[in-house]
């Protein structure tokens, strides 16, 4: 179980001539941009939570806070009873985080990239080999396992990045827009892979703009708008609050309520 309560994170605005630039967003004030103002949600073992919101709503900042890549200004994050903010090094051992901007080592092969991150996590050679074989089966990566990362297609790179993210068998998985830019077949493989985590009883959180992925995979969703939690609940509850059985219309309805 991961529990997020009242997260907040702000960033200093750039200045011109000693003064902050003019505010262009309701979250800009007092010389700060309040990217995340009040975000709360939870994700239980075996549950897939979809993190939704308009562009610039604060989703990526929220996920970076969960991964301990950023430290929040306020709020709390607990996972399986562990305070992740008080124990960030312990947290990183138990979290698998896929960032939208994290790259691969171009001169290493797909297999070498995954093995390298496994060794960083202290995995034994025999365990690492079994785990890599398992992931390369699940993600259908064997045909390009010996190909250098800088020669891989977008879909191949994303599969490799996800394998690297979960090679150490994390207790919590966090994915930032994992299917962006993928073709239908690659996206289908990754979505099936995400769905497999329900059977493993691992909480999985992923952000996306594709609501059909949410409808297919998610047990619950959290909508962030202007840095705040606008909704957290089941799909049926979202449809009820948004006033439509169509998920797209319901999403727009919820976001419009908080505009």
What gap in Å lies between CA 147 and CA 21, rounded to an integer?
Answer: 47
Helix (H) or strand (E) holding 134: helix 125-138
- Predicted confidence at residue 19, as pLDDT, reads 57
What gap in Å lies between CA 65 and CA 127, rounded to an integer?
Answer: 30
Q: What's the whole-number average pLDDT of the chain?
A: 92
Spatial contact of 98 and 175, defined as CB atoms under 8 Å apart: yes
Helix (H) or strand (E) holding 154: helix 154-166
What gap in Å lies between CA 170 and CA 66, rounded to an integer?
Answer: 14
| Mean pLDDT on 226-245 | 96
- Predicted confidence at residue 90, as pLDDT, reads 84
Question: Tokens 């496994």 sit at which residue?
Answer: 118
Q: What percent of the chain has pLDDT over 90?
A: 80
For the domain 2-257, what is the CATH code?
Answer: 3.40.50.300
| Residue 64, both tokens | 């970076």
pTM equals 0.91
Q: Please provide residue 45's backbone torsions phi and psi, each rounded to the nearest 5 degrees.
A: -55, 135
Closest CA to 50 of 235, 196, 197: 235
């Amino acid at each position: 179980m991961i529990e997020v309560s009242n997260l907040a994170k702000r960033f200093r605005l750039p200045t011109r001539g000693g003064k902050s630039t003019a505010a262009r967003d309701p979250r800009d004030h007092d010389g700060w941009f309040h990217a995340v103002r009040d975000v709360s949600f939870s994700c239980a073992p075996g549950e897939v939570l979809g993190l939704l919101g308009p562009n610039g709503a604060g989703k990526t900042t929220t996920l970076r806070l969960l991964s301990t890549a950023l430290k929040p200004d306020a709020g709390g994050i607990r996972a399986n009873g562990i305070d992740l903010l008080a124990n960030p090094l312990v947290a990183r051992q138990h979290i698998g985080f896929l960032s939208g901007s994290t790259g691969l080592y171009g001169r290493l092969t797909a297999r070498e990239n995954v093995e390298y991150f496994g060794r960083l996590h202290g995995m034994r050679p025999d365990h690492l080999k079994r785990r890599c074989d398992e992931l390369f089966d699940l993600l259908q990566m064997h045909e390009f396992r010996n190909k250098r990362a800088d020669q891989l297609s977008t879909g191949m790179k994303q599969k490799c990045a996800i394998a690297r993210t979960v090679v150490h068998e994390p207790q919590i998985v966090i994915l930032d827009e994992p299917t962006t830019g993928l073709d239908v077949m690659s996206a289908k493989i990754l979505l099936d892979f995400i769905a497999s985590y329900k059977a493993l009883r691992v909480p999985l959180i992923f952000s996306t703009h594709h609501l059909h992925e949410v409808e297919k995979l998610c047990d619950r969703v959290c909508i962030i708008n202007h840095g705040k939690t606008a909704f957290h609940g089941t799909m049926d509850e979202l449809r009820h609050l948004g006033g439509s059985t169509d998920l797209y219309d319901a999403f727009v309805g919820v976001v419009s309520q908080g505009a």
